Structure 1
Amino acid sequence: MDVHGRDLRYFVAVADHLSFTAAAEALYISQPALSKQIRALERQVGAELFVRDSRTVALSPVGTALLPHALRLLATWEMAELAVESAKATQGAALAIGISTSPGRGLLPAVRSRFTTAFPDAKPVLRLVGWDDPTAGLADESADVAFVWLPLVDSDRYHCLVVATEPRVVALPQSHHLADREHLDFTDLLDEPFLALPTSAGVLRDYWLALDARAGRAPIIGAEVSSTEETYEALVNGDGIVLLATGNAPLVTRDGVVTRPVHGVPPCELALAWRRDDKRPLVRGYAQACALVVGERAPTTA
């Protein structure tokens, strides 16, 4: 039995009003058209749904049996329509991608290609966030997903997908007394002034100062920096040295600045992060696209 949803709505309207005239008015159709559709439904069902006489309309036993199922089917379909409309609206929405510096490594174009294939009407928008916010806009919800360095402050609020693991290098002025060495141990750097992230960066500031490799010795802070350009200028000025991810070394390795491999500190991790309570299809879709690019499976957000 292949019943059209429209016919079920007509049936429910008549059952609700127990009047073809009132039901037709509520449905904004003519009474003859309504009667015709109900008769067609009865032929499909193979039994009368209403007992009619010249003055009254009542549900037949078959109509009484059908009514609760018809109501459930219509309610389920209404929910399906709402879900579809919501998904369509989401698909065409903007997705804010927070970054503090360009992730590089070919990530953005590769992820964008996969993401827009799955969500052709979506609008991924990059949002540059200062280094004073280590979540790159996730914390204040100005970004929907973000490329961040780990460790992430309030990490229990977020899902993270590691997209790159790289050794750390040290950037220093070309005139620095250690610049001629091909490799450096972190112990060689303990007495050097370091460039630090703003204090609001919290655990990420501590990480790039390598507090865990200092055996309790407090770092010397030469200056605070909030961007790549500030870092480069501070290096050229001789304000201090700084640890960087290998992939970010080209951002500051220009006139007057060199980078050297450094031993004694563990590799760093770049991750895509998103809020655990954000279940939107666009967010999950971007995470899945990123996971496909890096060859890993994204954590579930269910």
Structure 2
Amino acid sequence: MDIDTRLLRYFTAVAEEGHLTRAAERLFISQPALTKQIRQLEAQLGAELFSRSRNGMTLTEAGTALAAAVPPVLAAWDTALRTTRSAAVRAARVLRVGFVASAANEMTQRIIAEFARRRPGWRVRMLQTGWEDPTAGLAGGEADVALLRLPFPGQDELGVEVLLTEDRWLALPATHRLADRELIDFREVFDEPFVATPDASGWWRDYWLAADERDGHPVTVGAVANTPDEWLNAIANGFGISLTPEATARFYQRPDVVYRPVRGVSHSQVGVVWPREGDVPDVVHDFVRSAVTVSRAVSQE
């Protein structure tokens, strides 16, 4: 019997978290999708793996046996996968760099140029993902290294170097009552609908809703967006407002959306992020060094 390793990873997350919602957030998928995958694994094995209750998910005897057997299987597969991908990267001389929206802002091209200087003959391939995956393909192995907004779920398990820190601003429809303000207090928009990233983005979604900086006021979600274009259209059409990095005002300008500084929320950061364990190619470390070199140079200008 062949079992998809993805199902085993989903099973492991639920076993460790003991709760479907927390496991779904950790995996960047929706809870219904995770439930479906767990039931699929149980059907393939012909065994019930969890006892379900309002308090969460408890391993059955069969589930306990599988939970003990799965880690070495996944570890061996991860080792084989990393070794294969590292060889492929070296053979192709193409470095896959993941990003979600504006990457490292205006530093991006300088980072790529610095990398080209360090690695003649190598090419950078920029891979953009939707907001359902704040790791921009790094967690799933689609990217070798990434330029990402911090913080994001799973960050503690990866190598991270902070490149820049910037304020979070508010994006508003041009017709909004506060659109003419030079500075907005976040308290003034507690009751406004916000445009959110998908549930699958986990607590990254809550961070960009500033859920912990509302003094207990609940969040009202007016729309959900998977990409910058969807996000801009939702704001322009009046479905909600949104927190966004200051750089968005430079990268995503349009006449029906305005950006304003906001007081009362924490900063945002951008970092270069890479796998911390396993056979990480030297070329990945060269990209990290390139990013840090450019960041330091910019800070001194």
SS of 2:121's partner is coil
Question: Which residue pairs with 1:73 in the alignment?
Answer: none
The aligned counterpart of 2:265 is: 265
**C-alpha displacement at 1:210, in angstroms?**
0.4
What are the ranges of 5 or more consecutive residues in structure 1 without an aligned counterpart? 1-85, 297-302
Q: 1:164 to 1:109 in 2, by over 3 A?
A: same
Q: Show the counterpart of 1:119.
A: 119
Alpha-carbon deviations, 1:44-100, whole Å to 9, x = none? xxxxxxxxxxxxxxxxxxxxxxxxxxxxxxxxxxxxxxxxxx99x828521100011
For 2:261, give the aligned amino acid: P
Structure 1 residues 293 and 107: alpha-carbon distance in aligned structure 2, compared to 1, 3 A threshold: same
Letter in 2 for 1:207: Y
Identical-pair percentage: 36
What is the Cα deviation at residue 108 of structure 1?
2.0
- Structure 1 residues 206 and 169: alpha-carbon distance in aligned structure 2, compared to 1, 3 A threshold: same
Count of aligned positions = 211
What is the rounded CA distance, in whole Å, between the counterparts of 1:145 and 1:210 in structure 2?
27
> RCO (CA 8 Å, sep 6+): is it higher in 1 or 2?
2
2:102 is the alignment partner of 1:102: yes
Q: Which residue of 2 aligns with 1:291?
A: 292
* Aligned match of 2:205: 205
Report how far residue 251 of structure 1 moved. 3.5
Q: In the TM superposition, what whole-angstrom CA distance separates every residue of 1:241-283 from its partner, at most 9, and x where no partner exists?
A: 0011111123443111111110000110111111111521011
The residue aligned with 2:20 is none
Counterparts of 1:20-35 in structure 2 under 5 Å? none
d(CA) in 1 for partners of 2:158 and 2:178?
A: 39
Matches within 5 A, 1:78-227: 90=90, 93-103=93-103, 105-227=105-227
Give yes or no for contact 1:169–1:245 (8 Å, CA) kept in 2: yes
CA–CA separation in structure 2 for the residues paired with 1:232 and 1:152: 22
SS in 1 for 2:105: coil
CA drift at 1:104: 5.3
Q: Structure 1 residues 109 and 252, CA, compared in 2 at 3 Å: closer, same or farther? A: closer
Note if contact 1:91-1:119 (Cα within 8 Å) is conserved in structure 2.
no
Contact 1:228 1:251 in 2 (8 A): no
Residue 208 of structure 2 aligns to which amino acid in structure 1? W
**Contact in 2 for aligned 1:92/1:123 (Cα 8 Å):** no
Structure 2 contact 194–219 (Cα < 8 Å) conserved: yes
Letter in 2 for 1:222: G
CA contact (8 A) 1:104 1:247 kept: no
2: distance between equivalents of 1:155 and 1:263? 26
Measured in 1, the distance between the counterparts of 2:171 and 2:103 equals 18
Partners of 1:235 and 1:156 lie apart in 2 by 32
Unpaired runs of 5+ residues, structure 2, are 1-85
